[in-house]
Amino acid sequence: QVQLVESGGGLVQTGGSLTLSCVVSGRTASRYTMGWFRQAPGKEREFVAAITWSDGTTLNVDSVKCRFLIYRDGAKNTVYLQMNSLQPEDTAVYYCTSGDDRRTVVAGRADSWGQGTQVTVSS
């Protein structure tokens, strides 16, 4: 059973930075994709970024492409989301997800999700 545990959220001022972490355990497939989503109050969950574990190929939503960086550390079984130049509109609960199929993960239909970590950006 895949388990995902996020951490690193918090309160930051506009223009600040945070790095979220997601530790993954229980994965047996040799090729899978990790992703980050976020859900702001009153809004639907939206895709932020994804990375293919085996080769590090990344995908980002346009709104964060120049500010957020997704990367992984194989030795620690951890995927990170480095967030720079944070804006109030980045305020949301951020979720980590994982699946064998990249398209399924990016579409938000993967079976494995973490519990979420709150990011709040004050103006």
Position 31 scores a pLDDT of 77
How large is the average pLDDT for residues 46-55?
94
* 74-98 average pLDDT score: 96
Alpha carbon distance 10, 8 (integer Å): 7
Average pLDDT estimate for 81-98: 97
Q: Report the pLDDT value the prediction gives residue 26, as an integer from 0 to 100.
A: 87
pLDDT at residue 19 in the model: 98
- Could you tell me which of 6, 16, 38, 3 has the C-alpha nearest to residue 83? 16
Q: Which of 9-13, 28-32, 45-49, 60-64 has the lowest mean pLDDT?
A: 28-32
> CA of 118: how far to CAs of 10, 73, 105, in Å?
6, 22, 21
Mean pLDDT in residue range 65-84: 95
Percentage above 90 pLDDT, the chain: 82
Region 108-113 average pLDDT = 94
Kindly indicate the confidence band of residue 27, based on its pLDDT and cuts at 50, 70 and 90: confident
